[in-house]
Amino acid sequence: MPTSLRIAVPHGVQLPRTLTEADAVDLVSRLAEHYGWSYQLFGRGVVEEHLAVNRDHPAESKSRHRLSEQQWRRVRKTAAWRSVRRVGIRAVVEAGLLDAAVRQAGLECLACGAALDAAPDLTWSHCASCLVRTDLGTLQQARCPATAAEKAHQFAESRCVRCGIPAPETPSQSRVEPVPDDPATRHLTVVPDAA
């Protein structure tokens, strides 16, 4: 597999002259894993995978049909191939995955959109001023902030076993208040109803 070794890499990084395309794919994969990039590399392997002749030949099979350089160049010139990246990112956005990642990481206040620094199990995904205006029932119905997915609270006895929010049947609860500047305490405390 011929290799283009004239790749401009910043910061004086030198790619070894023996680097093959397969090595480059492996390098990108390892960089992505290290930095937490979510990526799908659409290279020639994806096209080979899609060929009818390879239907029964796994990627590591010696009998797998490989694209010649000339075939690969033809694929790269097609309008369809040039659209892959744009269509791919649009599919991710339209599936709501970026919105969900922001929400699940607790990056923004669910009520006003303010940026949040602290972890969601400290903020309940609300800024301090919105948290005091949010009734406890809403937080009990919302996803559990101690999970990185769309999971509900897991109530056992009087609290969620994951984030510690009081269970709905807990008596004398009416509102919640943040507990600022106290890293040992979650930024949520239940204040009994004054009435």
Segment holding 175, helix H or strand E: strand 175-177
Query: Is 187 a residue that touches Zn ion (CB under 5 A)?
Result: no
Instruction: Please state the φ and ψ torsions of residue 66, each to the nearest 5 degrees.
Output: -105, 145
CB 154, min distance to Zn ion, A: 6
Query: Is 130 a residue that touches Zn ion (CB under 5 A)?
Result: yes
How many binding residues for Zn ion (CB under 5 A)? 11
Query: Is 188 a residue that touches Zn ion (CB under 5 A)?
Result: no
Query: Is 127 a residue that touches Zn ion (CB under 5 A)?
Result: yes
Of the candidates 111, 119, 142, 190, which one interacts with Zn ion according to CB under 5 A? 111
Closest CA to 19 of 29, 30, 27: 27
Stretch near Zn ion under the rule CB under 5 A, chosen from 12-20, 100-108, 162-170, 185-193: 162-170
Q: How far apart are CA 64 and CA 47, in angstroms?
A: 12
Query: Is 143 a residue that touches Zn ion (CB under 5 A)?
Result: no
Query: What would you measure as the largest C-alpha separation in the chain, in angstroms?
Result: 80
Closest CA to 1 of 51, 57, 48: 48
Of the candidates 7, 112, 132, 148, which one interacts with Zn ion according to CB under 5 A? 112
CB 137, min distance to Zn ion, A: 14
Q: How far apart are CA 144 and CA 137, in angstroms?
A: 13
58 contact partners, CB below 8 Å, separation of at least 6: 64
Quick one: 67 or 128, whose CB is closer to Zn ion?
128
Binding site for Zn ion (CB under 5 A): 109, 111-112, 114, 127, 130, 144, 153, 160, 162-163
